[in-house]
Amino acid sequence: MAYNILYSNHDAEECVSDTMHKAWEAIPPSRPQYLWAYLTRITRNLSYKRWRASTAAKRGGSQPDLMLSELSQSIPQTGTVESVHGAFDYNQTVATINLFLRGLDAPARIIFVRRYFYGDSINDICRNFSISESKAKSMLFRTRNKLRMVLEKEGVVL
């Protein structure tokens, strides 16, 4: 996952090492219920943090830029979650997105998560799921639109 975001073996290895260090420091007092999900989230967050730092001066064209631009019309940006009637609970938005994902059929959910959580490229998705590029893009487009409609129905301003 770190490599899918950073496209650098060295940076990806450092993120994984930093993940293990953070987990080592955090786990003794509080043990996560799902270790894999816990480690994945740390790795993902560290990878995006490193990516933002490395691309601050040179914008555009990278895989994370492309993924974030695809999602920009479907989900609220961090720190801007609000409803039509005022403040909207961030946790409620996350719960709505999780409920939406659980309601998808397995192929659409897996492809969506592989693309936007793990950072897989369209080519990787096509190869791993034996589908055409147009089908992958179409599935992702439809899923993003459904997500946007669900969030708008819940009153989340995008």
What string of DSSP letters covers the chain? -HHHHH--HHHHHHHHHHHHHHHHHHTTTS--S-HHHHHHHHHHHHHHHHHHHHTSSS-S-SHHHHHHHHHTTTSPPTT--EETTEE--HHHHHHHHHHHHHHS-HHHHHHHHHHHTS---HHHHHHHHT--HHHHHHHHHHHHHHHHHHHHHTTB--
| 86: pLDDT strictly greater than 70 | no
Radius of gyration (C-alpha) of the chain in whole angstroms? 17
Per-residue pLDDT tens over the stretch 99-110: 999 999 999 999
Q: Where are the domains of the chain?
A: 1-59, 60-158
**Short-list 83, 98, 91, 1, CA closest to 42:** 1
State whether the Cα torsion 36-118-77-19 is positive or negative. Answer: positive
User: What CATH topology corresponds to 60-158?
Assistant: Arc Repressor Mutant, subunit A (1.10.10)
Find the range with the poorest average confidence among 28-37, 41-50, 61-70, 80-89.
80-89
Question: Among residues of the chain, what percentage have pLDDT more than 70?
Answer: 77
Per-residue pLDDT tens over the stretch 5-54: 888 888 889 989 998 988 888 876 777 888 888 888 888 888 888 877 77
Token pair 């990878």 in the structure block, residue: 47
Please tell me the distance from the alpha carbon of residue 114 to that of residue 40, in angstroms, as a whole number.
12
Query: How sure is the predictor about 84, in pLDDT bands with cuts at 50, 70 and 90?
Result: very low
